[in-house]
Structure 1
Amino acid sequence: MKFQASARKWRPQKFSQLIGQEHIVRTLKNAIELDRIAQAYLFSGTRGVGKTTSARLLAKALNCEQGPTPEPCDICTHCVEIRDGHSVDVLEIDGASNNGVAEARELIDNVQYSTSSCRYKVYIIDEVHMLSKSAFNALLKTLEEPPPGVVFIFATTEMNKIPETILSRCQHFEFKPLSHQQIMDQLQLICDQEEIKIDPGSLEEVAKNGAGSMRDAQSLLDQVIAFSGKSIDAGSVQQVLGIVGQDALIQFFDMILSKDGPALMQTVHNTTLEGKDLGLLCRDLLEYLRNLMIVKVAKESSALLDQKSCDIEALTRQAEAIHLDELQQMFQALSRAEMDMKRSSLPRTVFEMALIRMLDVRPFQNIDAMIDQINTMQPTAPASNHPVPAASPGPTAAPASAPAASSNTASNTASSPAPASPASAPVAGGGQNKWEQIKARAGEAKRIFATYLAQAEVLELSDECLHLAFPDPFTQGQADKDENKALLKEIAEAVMGSPSVKIKLDCRPASTPTPAQSDPASGKGSGSDKKKESPTEQQILQDAVEILGGTIIG
């Protein structure tokens, strides 16, 4: 017997065999039973979901010798002729090749003739969106008031191209894409009837690549059967469809988690050499990220994942090693790459760039929390302006006993032990000027880094060493980052005129101020420093923007 494609061989011949469109089947059956047949129907939806099949079923239901009936017998003369495409009263017209106004006028002329033997004359126009504007306009009057016993059924995959004047004259039915499970069940039925052995994982891959289209999935199944024969395994499906398996996806994402860029690029290279489609790999990775997100977010994730094709244990392990924000950033990078790959002449490069971005993702930081952190850190930059109790009489007695200059002298004498403070001696005189130059240059190169330096105490500043102490671990950690430390070393060597300056960064509490630092009469204490270094709201916002890499939108 001559081979017949599965999509034709297993085409539904009754409404009860139509899969996944129960809402449409119910409406059409009720319309037939209640004798409420419209003059025009419009079926829209993606390819391979049953639009043309439903049009033929409706034509059979209207013209069956036992009808009109919701369940045509499929054995009478009219049913057989419509099924085989031989009925002179049921005409299927391709809108793509008959899209001109001349064809529309010919159709209008033929509409006037009565049926040859059937009860209804049915015109099925497939891909109706391909008709020209003039052809649509020519049909308007006939579509609104057709002769008795004439029914138009339009089918389209691009609903947005149908004029409103046509829509208003039709009953519109939207066909849904089929689920993976619905496609899998039908493919399994076909394999059982054809005595084909196929494992559930392979069947899932075929159904998934059908992308909601039963016809596409059936065509892929025919292709896999032609390659593998009566026994189909996962390797055969992957080779025919040009996809990677679940194990390969797990290894691929492990490389991303471990930031192993060289291995990742080599894997992409090998995948290309094997002839596999990088677009499909990108799509599979997007679905894999979705599965990771489900495991990360949902407590009962097993109900939302396909147990046959997902390694729940591996997904759980990887989900625990990554932040949800990172998953979202990775998904955005891959989603953008998938669209760009379709338009680019270098799809592999687009895909590789997306993978590199995925290697560099970091969790988001809450901007409110960061601003609070900056506000908390900034007041600690100068020494505290609250004197210790033992030193409090000094500043209050000085203004009454001597002029301001004498007060400063007395204060300096009284605080002679101050050189023991780690911040005072190293920055005296020229050292202070050098330190100010270092901070200024750091601010020019990286403003936020200068904010951290402003909070530091200089323990040592010489041609050989720059030793700083920070008031809290967070500030010390930010300053100690490799890029910041390298920048500080470069600036210090330039300012000090030394070929090598060792950088030492410690974390120590802020030192207790001397009376001179807290003397309100001097005008140079920590109060004035605080006023000088305290950031404005705009500076705080700008610092937060630099930390987070964002933009101010309002």
Structure 2
Amino acid sequence: MSYQVLARKWRPQTFDEVVGQETVTKTLQNAIKSERIAHAFLFSGVRGVGKTTTARILAKALNCQEGPTPSPCGECVSCREIKEANSIDVLEIDAASNTGVDNMRDLRESARYGTARDRFKIFIIDEAHMLSNAAFNALLKTLEEPPAHVKFILATTEYAKIPVTIVSRCQQYDFKPIPFLLILERLKLLIREEGIEISEDSLRAIVSVAEGSMRDAQSALDQIIAFGGKQIPDEAVRVLLGVVDERAILSLVDAVLERDVKVLVEQVQELVNSGVDPRNFCRKLIHHVRNLMVCRVTGWDERLLNLPDTAKDEILKQSEQFSQLDLIRFYDLLNRAENDLRWNSHPWVHLEMTLMKLIELTHLPSLEDVIAQLQLGEKVGKSSPKGGAVPSGDTESLFPVANKRPQSKDKKGSRAVASPEAEKTEEGEAVSENQVISQLLSAVQTESIRLYSSLQHASRTTLEDGKLLISFPQSEAFHQGEVLRSDHQDLLSRLCAKIVGSVPKIEVQLEEPPKEQPDPKEDPRVKTFMEIFPGKVIVEKENAD
């Protein structure tokens, strides 16, 4: 008996065996149970996800001697002939080689005649988008009102190329790419039944290359078995598929983190010598950046990462060393590089230069930080003495502290300005409120230049009785909102706890607008005085500094 490839040998024979298309199979089974079977179906989706397989199972379900049934027996003559693709009443037509209008006229003529034996005459038109416009037009009338014994099943990987007049006459079913873990489980079952020894890491590499296609995964496994036999080493998988070892990706990213250009160039040369395709490597690196982003946002989740547990610790460690902005920048740069590699005459040199750019990107400030720094510099420049800059240590001049009261008074009943938590440092020395605020400012400047810039616009800042009060003028509502951000609030709480030993209640407010002063001329006392002593009222206003 001639050899059958794994994709044919393990082709599903019932709706329940179809992997990853539960919505489609459940709908078709319910339609058969309720006897609401349409006369035309359109199956669309990427390659190798079960369109033609489902079409054959549907044909068996309709023509099974026990049917129509959602669970064909697979043993009757009709089921066996459909499985072997030699049923006289189930015709599979390759639209790529039958594109003309004459072919559709022959099909239309054939549909007029009854079945030879089975319940329905079923036409399965594969790659239907390859039909010409004239062929589609010739099929329209028959597709809209076929004889009662005729069913049409159209399958296509290019749904957008199917005319809307055809789509409107069919029930359309969209076949999704099969999830990674479902393909992995199917391959594990297959190698167990076939007696193949292969590591899970190699299976994951095969599934990654398949990109959601079960047939592609089975075909790749078939090729690897032909090369390695029953016991397949990981190296054979990497060589045949041209995939990059996860260790190489991790080491290269470590070189980027450490800004080690020498190591990076050496690793790129090793990849060149091993014959890795630069575009495949770039795509693998893009996926790695995506995995780092997922780890940074959600932590380790195998459902989202599709990675072996052996790489968990290193990937989590790397994700913690990148900011989200860094990873977004990396993705943009690598995505552009992947497109450029298609036409570049020196692909590895181009990719090498791109990786060097990644090293520089890790130390670029964000746009928000640059703007905040520029705003801070402008404010400092305006407030500095003529001919000189503000000393870097003079933080009090940059951070407004209202009510600079003395730390304590001699009079009985008076109290200190600073809270009990701020009265002593770790060494036990008393510190003033201004010193605490200055320390807080310095810490904020180190942690977040954006928050530091917004705090410069505060009109009053006090730390008293376990409460940090920050007031802004009415015109600075934007900066009040910046300080109220949850991440900035958390930062202030953490820094306060570090400086004063406890977390104060943080209150950020807008000051009430000043009340309008009454006109002195309207004061009754002034009017009485003017009646007794005629003269002119002179109002002197204070200059606001």
Trace 1:185-264 onto structure 2 (pairs within 5 A).
185-264=185-264
Trace 1:102-141 onto structure 2 (pairs within 5 A).
102-141=102-141
User: Does the CA-based 8 Å contact 1:325-1:363 persist in structure 2?
Assistant: no
Please state whether the residue corresponding to 2:289 is helix, strand or coil: helix
Trace 1:406-421 onto structure 2 (pairs within 5 A).
none
- The answer as to 2:351 corresponding to 1:351 is yes
Cα pair distance change 1:215/1:302, threshold 3 Å: closer
- Cα distance per residue 1:179-219 (max 9 Å; x no partner): 11111111111101111111111111111111100000001
User: Does the CA-based 8 Å contact 1:209-1:217 persist in structure 2?
Assistant: yes
Q: Partner of 1:376 in structure 2?
A: 379
For structure 1, which runs of at least 5 residues remain unmatched after alignment?
384-422, 424-456, 458-468, 475-554
Q: Partner of 2:3 in structure 1?
A: 3
User: Does the CA-based 8 Å contact 1:246-1:309 persist in structure 2?
Assistant: no
User: Does the CA-based 8 Å contact 2:300-2:312 persist in structure 1?
Assistant: no
- Aligned-pair CA distance for 1:154: 0.6
Please state whether the residue corresponding to 1:232 is helix, strand or coil: coil
Provide the rounded CA distance (Å) in 2 between the counterparts of 1:305 and 1:473: 47
- Aligned-pair CA distance for 1:470: 6.4
- Aligned-pair CA distance for 1:120: 0.6
Cα pair distance change 1:302/1:309, threshold 3 Å: closer
Trace 1:308-327 onto structure 2 (pairs within 5 A).
308=308, 311-327=311-327
- Aligned-pair CA distance for 1:45: 0.5
- Corresponding letter in the other structure for 1:211: E
- Cα distance per residue 1:106-145 (max 9 Å; x no partner): 2111111111111111111111111111111111111101
TM-score (norm 1): 0.67
TM-score (norm 2): 0.68
User: Does the CA-based 8 Å contact 1:61-1:71 persist in structure 2?
Assistant: yes
Please state whether the residue corresponding to 2:138 is helix, strand or coil: helix
- Aligned-pair CA distance for 1:165: 0.6
Please state whether the residue corresponding to 1:190 is helix, strand or coil: helix
Provide the rounded CA distance (Å) in 2 between the counterparts of 1:34 and 1:13: 22
Please state whether the residue corresponding to 1:125 is helix, strand or coil: strand
Please state whether the residue corresponding to 2:153 is helix, strand or coil: strand
- The answer as to 2:48 corresponding to 1:48 is yes
User: Does the CA-based 8 Å contact 2:5-2:219 persist in structure 1?
Assistant: yes
- Corresponding letter in the other structure for 1:272: V
- Aligned-pair CA distance for 1:29: 0.6
Cα pair distance change 1:311/1:363, threshold 3 Å: farther
User: Does the CA-based 8 Å contact 2:299-2:316 persist in structure 1?
Assistant: no
Provide the rounded CA distance (Å) in 2 between the counterparts of 1:363 and 1:50: 48
How many residues are aligned here? 392
Trace 1:281-300 onto structure 2 (pairs within 5 A).
281-299=281-299
User: Does the CA-based 8 Å contact 1:40-1:170 persist in structure 2?
Assistant: yes
Please state whether the residue corresponding to 1:153 is helix, strand or coil: strand
Provide the rounded CA distance (Å) in 2 between the counterparts of 1:473 and 1:206: 60
Please state whether the residue corresponding to 2:96 is helix, strand or coil: coil
Please state whether the residue corresponding to 2:73 is helix, strand or coil: coil
- Cα distance per residue 1:343-365 (max 9 Å; x no partner): 54543344234323212212413
- The answer as to 2:332 corresponding to 1:329 is no
- Cα distance per residue 1:463-494 (max 9 Å; x no partner): xxxxxx764489xxxxxxxxxxxxxxxxxxxx
- Cα distance per residue 1:14-69 (max 9 Å; x no partner): 11111111111111011111111111100001100000000000011000111111
% same residue: 45
Structure scoring higher RCO (CA < 8 A, sep ≥ 6) equals 1
Trace 1:163-182 onto structure 2 (pairs within 5 A).
163-182=163-182
Trace 1:260-279 onto structure 2 (pairs within 5 A).
260-279=260-279
- Corresponding letter in the other structure for 1:374: G
Provide the rounded CA distance (Å) in 1 between the counterparts of 2:46 and 2:10: 19
Provide the rounded CA distance (Å) in 1 between the counterparts of 2:299 and 2:243: 30
- Cα distance per residue 1:218-256 (max 9 Å; x no partner): 011111111221112322211211112121111111111
Q: Partner of 2:38 in structure 1?
A: 38
Cα pair distance change 1:317/1:363, threshold 3 Å: farther
Q: Partner of 1:160 in structure 2?
A: 160
Cα pair distance change 1:473/1:221, threshold 3 Å: farther
Provide the rounded CA distance (Å) in 2 between the counterparts of 1:49 and 1:119: 28
Provide the rounded CA distance (Å) in 2 between the counterparts of 1:346 and 1:123: 50
Please state whether the residue corresponding to 1:91 is helix, strand or coil: strand
Q: Partner of 2:79 in structure 1?
A: 79
User: Which range is displaced more, 168-177 or 264-273?
Assistant: 264-273
Provide the rounded CA distance (Å) in 1 between the counterparts of 2:107 and 2:342: 39
Please state whether the residue corresponding to 1:311 is helix, strand or coil: helix
Cα pair distance change 1:167/1:273, threshold 3 Å: same
Please state whether the residue corresponding to 2:342 is helix, strand or coil: helix
- Cα distance per residue 1:243-273 (max 9 Å; x no partner): 1212111111111112223432332232122
User: Does the CA-based 8 Å contact 2:14-2:72 persist in structure 1?
Assistant: yes
Provide the rounded CA distance (Å) in 1 between the counterparts of 2:312 and 2:134: 57
- Aligned-pair CA distance for 1:302: 5.8
- Aligned-pair CA distance for 1:342: 3.3
Q: Partner of 1:523 in structure 2?
A: none
Please state whether the residue corresponding to 2:367 is helix, strand or coil: coil
User: Does the CA-based 8 Å contact 1:201-1:309 persist in structure 2?
Assistant: no
User: Does the CA-based 8 Å contact 1:42-1:172 persist in structure 2?
Assistant: yes
- Corresponding letter in the other structure for 1:107: L
Q: Partner of 1:184 in structure 2?
A: 184
Cα pair distance change 1:144/1:189, threshold 3 Å: same
- Aligned-pair CA distance for 1:303: 5.9
Provide the rounded CA distance (Å) in 1 between the counterparts of 2:72 and 2:156: 25
User: Does the CA-based 8 Å contact 1:292-1:315 persist in structure 2?
Assistant: yes
User: Does the CA-based 8 Å contact 2:47-2:157 persist in structure 1?
Assistant: yes
Q: Partner of 2:456 in structure 1?
A: none
- Cα distance per residue 1:55-102 (max 9 Å; x no partner): 000011000111111111111111111110111111111111111112
Please state whether the residue corresponding to 2:173 is helix, strand or coil: strand
Provide the rounded CA distance (Å) in 2 between the counterparts of 1:76 and 1:303: 41
Provide the rounded CA distance (Å) in 1 between the counterparts of 2:355 and 2:297: 24
- Aligned-pair CA distance for 1:312: 1.8
Q: Partner of 1:551 in structure 2?
A: none
User: Does the CA-based 8 Å contact 2:60-2:79 persist in structure 1?
Assistant: yes
